[in-house]
C-alpha cells in the first residue's frame, strides 16, 4: 500500500491548489459588498501562500528553487480550478459562444499568468528567509 502514498510536497500542492480555487469561487458568490469579499479572498489566499512557503521551508526543508516551484504550482493549480469553475458557470448561465471560447483559453492562460509571479514571490521569500536564518541552520 505504500506505493499509493502521495509525497508531502505534492499533497501540499494539491491541497493548496484546491483551497485557492474554493476560496476564489466561494468568495465570488456574494452579491453584496463585492469589494470587501474580493479583499477577503486576497487576504485568505495571501495567508495560505505564506503558510505554504513556511511549510516548505521549515517542515520539508526544501531548497529555495524547489520551494518556489511547489508554491507556484499550487497557485497555478488554484488558478486552473478557478478557470474550470468559470467555465462551468458560463455553461449554467448560458454565456455566448465567444465568452465560452475565452474561458476555455483561461484554462491555460490563468495558471500560466499566476505561476510566474507566485514562483518569483516564493523565490524572493526564500531568499529573505535564508538571509535571516542562523548560520548553523543553513545548508
Q: What would the pLDDT profile of 113-135 be if each residue is shown by its tens digit?
A: 999 999 999 999 988 988 887 76
Mean residue pLDDT of the chain comes to 90
The set of cell numbers assigned to 7 is 509525497
Q: What is the pTM of this model?
A: 0.87
Positive/negative CA dihedral, 78, 80, 70, 131: negative
Alpha helical stretches, state H, the chain: 8-26, 34-54, 64-93, 97-131
Q: Is residue 78 within 8 Å of residue 16, measured between CB atoms? A: yes
**Which uninterrupted H or E stretch holds 32?**
none
Amino acid at each position: 500500500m505504500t506505493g499509493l502514498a502521495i509525497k508531502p510536497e505534492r499533497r501540499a500542492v494539491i491541497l493548496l491548489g484546491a483551497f485557492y480555487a474554493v476560496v476564489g469561487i466561494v468568495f465570488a458568490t456574494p452579491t453584496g459588498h463585492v469589494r470587501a469579499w474580493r479583499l477577503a479572498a486576497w487576504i485568505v489566499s495571501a495567508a495560505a501562500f505564506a503558510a505554504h512557503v513556511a511549510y516548505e521551508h521549515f517542515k520539508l526543508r526544501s531548497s529555495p528553487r524547489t520551494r518556489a516551484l511547489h508554491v507556484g504550482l499550487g497557485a497555478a493549480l488554484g488558478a486552473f480550478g478557478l478557470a474550470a469553475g468559470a467555465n462551468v458557470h458560463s455553461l449554467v448561465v448560458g454565456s455566448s459562444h465567444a465568452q465560452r471560447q475565452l474561458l476555455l483559453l483561461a484554462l491555460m492562460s490563468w495558471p500560466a499568468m499566476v505561476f510566474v509571479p507566485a514562483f518569483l514571490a516564493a523565490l524572493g521569500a526564500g531568499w529573505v528567509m535564508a538571509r535571516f536564518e542562523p548560520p548553523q541552520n543553513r545548508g
